[in-house]
Amino acid sequence: MQKANLANLQCPIAQSLERVGEWWNILILREAFYGSSRFDEFQKELGIAPNMLTKRLNDLVLKGILDRIQYCEKPPRYEYKLTKVGEDFRPVLLAFLNWGNKHFAADGIAVKLIDRETGKTSRPILIDSVTGKPISAKSHAIVSGPAANEELRKKLKRD
Amino acid sequence: MQKANLANLQCPIAQSLERVGEWWNILILREAFYGSSRFDEFQKELGIAPNMLTKRLNDLVLKGILDRIQYCEKPPRYEYKLTKVGEDFRPVLLAFLNWGNKHFAADGIAVKLIDRETGKTSRPILIDSVTGKPISAKSHAIVSGPAANEELRKKLKRD
């Protein structure tokens, strides 16, 4: 991410974006969810330059989103597994998947989410698990929380 | 986004990322959801350079995510409103918000989602609206759809 003012830095959306840093990180996480764990798998799937991939994987390990696990001693070889934080990125990817399928799949559906038990295509929606209500702009609002600074508080009051 | 192979381009996650293009676009959309619509509002909230903001807003209009609407003739002034496609980006932002609040809010919650009626904090979760089941890695899988090319089909078979 480039420069951002204080209100942005406190915002959890900005905090999250800072963790995934750039598209490559999101695409690496996508591949991790699709089953890649080894350097050469990520490289093959993404067609990313090795030095860039090394940098991105180190960055994701540093941020606690991937774990690096040695699976071979001689020569030393590592695989990369999603941590709990990484696993929790799944809803973001699924939200991107939905948005893409809904609006940018003019040539048909290339990737979809299915129910493993029935094999049927899922239609994921966000609900409020407190009330069971679907989340919409009408029923739900984004507001400042107890830790918000003055600037963020003012920004979110406008809604 | 930088280079990507064919399988990536067909993937709806890559398609979506291509539409939002870079962090600035996501942050501009965030501001639109927070209530900004005028150039100077976006500029003030994001601290973004005017030429960069112009470029990003034009890009989002071109991609059908924002609408540009003239609200003053002399001098010509425009505001930027979320289109239907833009509105449908909300679950992505909410997923980022959740992820940030869950893992990166060490100093407390600065932004939260509430139920407008009760004022209570929401806990958004993804469910499959076909069955009502919560979506998890155990119960749901990402698989190739009818329009997937050979490369994508092979990639997604590994799961």
Interchain contact A42–B (C-beta under 8 A):
no
Write down the ipTM of this complex: 0.88
Interchain contact B9–A (C-beta under 8 A):
no
Top-confidence residue, B34 or A20: B34
pLDDT at position B129 is 92
3-state secondary structure of A116: coil
A159: amino acid identity, one letter: D
Verify whether the Cβ–Cβ distance A141 to B114 is below 8 Å.
Answer: yes
pLDDT at position B159 is 54
Of A37-41, B65-69, B145-149, B150-154, the least confident: B150-154
Whether residue A117 is predicted with pLDDT greater than 90 in this model: the reply is yes
pLDDT at position A154 is 85
pTM of the model: 0.89
Residue B84 and residue A4 in contact, taking contact as beta carbons nearer than 8 Å: no
Verify whether the Cβ–Cβ distance A131 to B148 is below 8 Å.
Answer: no
B84-118 tens-digit pLDDT: 999 999 999 999 999 999 998 888 898 999 999 99
Using pLDDT thresholds of 50, 70 and 90, give the confidence band for residue B20: confident
What CA–CA distance (Å, rounded) separates A37 from A73?
Answer: 17
What tokens were used for A139? 């029923």
What CA–CA distance (Å, rounded) separates A135 from A27?
Answer: 27
**Interface with chain A: mutation pick from B142, B144, B158, highest number of A CBs within 10 Å:** B142
DSSP annotation of B125: E
pLDDT at position B54 is 95
